[in-house]
Structure formats: structure tokens, C-alpha cells
Structure 1
Amino acid sequence: MVNGLRLHYVIAGSGDPLVLLHGWPQSWREWRHVIPELASRFTVIAPDMRGFGDSDKPSGGYDKRTVARDIRELVHVLGFREIHLAGHDLGMMVAYEYAASYPAEVRRLAVLEAGLPGLGLEAFLDTAKYPHLWHFGFFNAPGVAETLIAGREKLFLSHFIRHLAYDPYAVTGDDLDEYADRMSAPGALRASFEHYRAFPADALNNQENARKKLAMPVLGIGGDHSLGEHVGKLMEPLADQVSTAVVERSGHWVPEEQPEQLANLLTGFFTQP
């Protein structure tokens, strides 16, 4: 129980704490191929963010500042304070907020495959130019997306995930069953879309955060068939020390499409002095 709600998490390994934050429509499970390698060097903590997986799905609190507070309280309850932090997709947005709000508590930050509301994400909302990103507007329509998807979770997620993948079967049928099962829980679809509907509040918070650059080292990671170098370029104005990595033969779902490459990148980055 943290910040007024129940968060589900998994924990593995020993060493410096490393927190992994997932994206939409997933859960901690997206990291399962990466965790064993990382757990040989770190205490890996992979939570389900509010609204996802087996965590609670409250009516509000989906701005990334509140979600970052959830994760920070979990870290403290587990007995840690200074952490390494990595976030993918929506988890990238939460990770940036965490690092900006609690800079003394984040040693190193890795961000994967997303933009930031208020700091450039809006450029990708032009569906004429980026037709594969049509879902931003769809998810933002209150009540519409959940009504149309309810009862068809696996059908929708299969299309959505495979459309953004380099290897359309890296996210397996079992994975899709798991994600669809969690998304079919009462309130889960609505809760997951509330993360997108909080973007206007996130934009204001991010613009405030951007007034002070992050001091910790930052690694921006993109798939070569998705955002590529853009993630690192996005972070360059926001941090003093930014490096970029592009994962080969990967679309958007880097932790599941190329877990070995990603584990090696993260291990190398988070073990630097």
C-alpha cells in the first residue's frame, strides 16, 4: 500500500536498486526476459503502475507526477532511496517526472521509446504525417475507446502491438493473453486511458521541470524501426549528460523484441562509475 493505493510489483536479484517502468498496454511482464540478466547485478524492482496489471485502478491520479510519487513511495517502503531508473513508453514519462522531481534520488536514468507531453510529443499527434500514431487521439476520447474495445481486448491488442513491432511475434500469444486478461478486469481499460487523458497536466508539469536540466547521466534508447535516435535527441535539451543508443532489429517493444541487446545496454550504462 503506497500513496493511498495497492501496487503490485516483482523484485529479483541483489545489488544497487534498479526500477523498471512499463508502458501501455503492458505490465511488469514486458521486462521478464530482461530481468534475469539484470538481477545478476542489481536488485530489480518492476511494478505495475496504477491502472495496470494487478495494481489498483483508482478514479484519478494518472498525471505522471502522482504516478511517480507512487513509485517513489514503493521504493522507500522496500527500504531503498537512491535508485537507477528505466522507463519505456508511458513508463518513460513517469521516469522523467521521477528524475525531475527527486533528482538527488536517481543515480542514472534510461528512457525508451516515447516522447514527453509539452516537450515535443505534440509533433507526433499529426496523424496525416504519423498515421501509425492514430491511437493518441482515440485513447483521449472519454468513454469511447473503452466502449469500443471492451470484450475485444485481445483482438485490439494483437493489432496494436504487432502494428508497432519489427518482429510481430516477439510479443507471443501467451503474452497477448496475459495483457488482454489484465485489460479486461473491471475498470482497467478506463484506467489505462486515463494516463493519456492526463497529458495536458503532464505538459504543464514537464515544462516546469524543463527549466532545470537533469544532472544525472541519461541514456535515450530507441528501436531502429521505431524512434531510433529521436529519444536521445529529445533528452539533450533536458539533461547535462545524454547518450543515445539504437537497438537493432527492433520496433517499439524493445524489452520484448530485443531483450539481450537491451539487457547489455542497461547493464553497461548502470554499472558505469
Structure 2
Amino acid sequence: MVEFPALEGVSHRFLDLPGLRAHVAEAGDGDPVLLLHGFPQHWWEWRKVVPGLAGRRRVVCPDLRGAGWTDAPRRGYGYEPLRDDLVALLDELDLDRVDVVAHDWSAIVVFRMCLDDPDRFRRFVAIGVPPLFIDLDRRMLGALRHAWYQLALVTPGAGPWLLRRGGLPHYLLTGFAAPGASTPADVEIFLERLRDPARAKAGSLLYRKLITPESVRIFSGAYKKAHLKTPTRVLLGTQDPVVRPDLVHGYEDQADDLEVVAVAGAAHFIPEERPKDVVARVLEFVDAP
């Protein structure tokens, strides 16, 4: 029997998707909202947010391919297979059009899905990543020095080894977060899953096939001709080492309804640093007429 970290009111189940057995944590009742984690995390990222949302919404927190308790196959970590996983998940849950909150790399996938199919998601809250079609602010080039670890993670052999050893993911979880975001026990819950060689390799492949290539595309202007129709809010921490809200601009004419919101005192892991702010912002947005 699988043992999951305990969170009151949360139930767990596995769904058999095409080529993937996916774990989903759920809580609450009402209109559904999908919560998608970032790296190097899984559904436990939302532990402080779920209680605030579950009183008014059905909260669905899947572990995405390669993470948590979902399968970690040897391939499928580029945009298209990750998109197909989400479509299959929504179909299996019989969710035709749903509100979505996505953090870190999963927000990149959702941004692209919204550009490809504006009707797939009703409203979108992105956390910790900018709109794909921003202008490159020269000040951000200096901030990119903090992303040195990506070069290590995309390296075959070295990337998985670093993730299994735990030092690098520990650095990401603590060095890119405001103080007190996670307890040592919370950090261990994330590190423990990465000690599995298959999941460590999946994390490296995720950087090699999605995160690093998409970062290059964003900062090289590949999406500057795109137009976003899905109503969207972007939450960025004022202390984020790489993507601060004051560095994000040039998106204003490329979306029907898009606002970038600065979260004071937060860094990159906003759902754990400022959970009350996340809950308030999400409910205010998704419950609006």
C-alpha cells in the first residue's frame, strides 16, 4: 500500500492514462480547479494552498510525468507529450473546461496550451514564470547567472546523479525560496522521491527537453507574435532571483486579459511562501463573473 504525506481532507487515487499511471490528490467540492506543480516538486507543493481552496472548490493536484508517485518513463518530457498527458488527465476526470493554477515549468506548458487551444482552460493563474512573449530586459541577463544549475541538470549522467545526491535540489528548494517556506521535513518529502534513479533521470530530461529550450525561446523572442486569449494572471515574487515583476514587460498588447501581479516578499516558491496571498488571488480571479 502506498503511503502519502498526510493532509487532512485529501484523498488519493491512480488514473491509467495512455502510457502513464498518474497519481492524483483531491480535496473539496464545487467547481474544479487544477493545481500543477513545478520542479523539483510534486503535489505536496500545494499543501498550504489546498485547505484554503477546498472550502469553495474541488481541488485536483496531479503528480506530473516523472514526479511524485506518477510513473517516470524513459521518454516523453518535451512539450507535446506533457500536453497530451494533461489532456488525457482532464478527459479521464471528465473535465471539459477547467480553471488552472500552474507553477514553474508546468506554467510554461499551460501557456503554450492556451495559445494552441484557448478554450481548453477557463482561467489561468501562472506562478513564478513570465508570459512567454515578454521583451528581454537587459537587467534580466545579469539575473540569469542564478540559473547556472540548468547547465548541470541537462548534462547526461551528471544531471541525474546530482538530483539523486540531493544537494542541488535542496539548494533549489531553499536558495530560491523566502525563509520559512518549507520545513526540513517538507524538503525531505521532495528529495526522497528524487532518490529513485528513474525520477532523477526524468528531472534531467525535463530540463533537457522542456525547461532549458523553452527558456531560450522565451528570452530570444520566439513567442513575440503570439496572442493570448485565455484570461490570465501571473504571480511573480518581488524577491525572485531571476524573474522579478519589475523586469517583466512588453506583453501588454499580446493578450486579451492579462495582468502581472507582484507578490511582496516572495521569491520563487510562492505557494509555500505566501499561501494566503495565492488563495486570495486565485479565488478572486476564478470566482469573478
Q: 1:37 to 1:48 in 2, by over 3 A?
A: same
Structure 2 counterpart of 1:75, from 56, 79, 90: 90
Please give the alpha-carbon distance, in whole angstroms, between the structure 2 residues aligned to 1:87 and 1:216. 14
Residue 261 (1) aligns with residue 272 (2): no
Give the residue type in structure 1 aligned to 2:54: A
How many residue pairs get aligned? The number is: 269
Please give the alpha-carbon distance, in whole angstroms, between the structure 1 residues aligned to 2:70 and 2:144. 32
Residue 197 (1) aligns with residue 211 (2): no
Measured on the aligned residues, the alpha-carbon RMSD in Å equals: 2.8
Q: Which residue of 2 aligns with 1:164?
A: 176
Contact 1:21-1:95 at 8 Å conserved across structures: no
In the TM superposition, what are the counterparts of 1:16-27 in structure 2 within 5 Å?
16-27=31-42
Describe the superposition over 1:165-209 as per-residue Cα deviations: whole angstroms up to 9, x where unpaired.
121x32111111111111111311110121111137657998887
Q: Which residue of 2 aligns with 1:147?
A: 161
Contact 1:221-1:228 at 8 Å conserved across structures: no
In the TM superposition, what are the counterparts of 1:1-273 in structure 2 within 5 Å?
1-115=16-130, 129-150=143-164, 152-153=165-166, 155-167=167-179, 169-199=180-210, 202=214, 211-226=225-240, 227-229=243-245, 233=249, 235-236=251-252, 238-273=254-289
Q: 1:33 to 1:92 in 2, by over 3 A?
A: same
Identity of aligned residues (%): 27
Contact 2:160-2:201 at 8 Å conserved across structures: yes
Q: 1:204 to 1:24 in 2, by over 3 A?
A: closer
Contact 2:133-2:251 at 8 Å conserved across structures: no
Match of 1:103, SS? coil
Match of 2:119, SS? helix
Displacement, 1:219?
A: 0.3
Please give the alpha-carbon distance, in whole angstroms, between the structure 2 residues aligned to 1:57 and 1:172. 26
Give the residue type in structure 2 aligned to 1:23: G
Please give the alpha-carbon distance, in whole angstroms, between the structure 2 residues aligned to 1:131 and 1:160. 14
Describe the superposition over 1:59-102 as per-residue Cα deviations: whole angstroms up to 9, x where unpaired.
11111232122112111111211101111111111221232233
> Given the two structures, how large is their TM-score scaled by the length of structure 1?
0.87
Contact 2:137-2:248 at 8 Å conserved across structures: no
Displacement, 1:232?
A: 6.3
Contact 2:134-2:249 at 8 Å conserved across structures: no
Contact 1:63-1:201 at 8 Å conserved across structures: no
Contact 1:65-1:97 at 8 Å conserved across structures: no
Please give the alpha-carbon distance, in whole angstroms, between the structure 2 residues aligned to 1:212 and 1:238. 7
Contact 1:115-1:231 at 8 Å conserved across structures: no
Displacement, 1:105?
A: 2.1
Contact 2:128-2:236 at 8 Å conserved across structures: yes
Q: 1:15 to 1:102 in 2, by over 3 A?
A: farther
Contact 2:231-2:258 at 8 Å conserved across structures: yes
Match of 1:130, SS? helix
Contact 2:123-2:232 at 8 Å conserved across structures: yes
> Given the two structures, how large is their TM-score scaled by the length of structure 2?
0.83
Q: 1:140 to 1:253 in 2, by over 3 A?
A: same
Contact 1:2-1:73 at 8 Å conserved across structures: yes
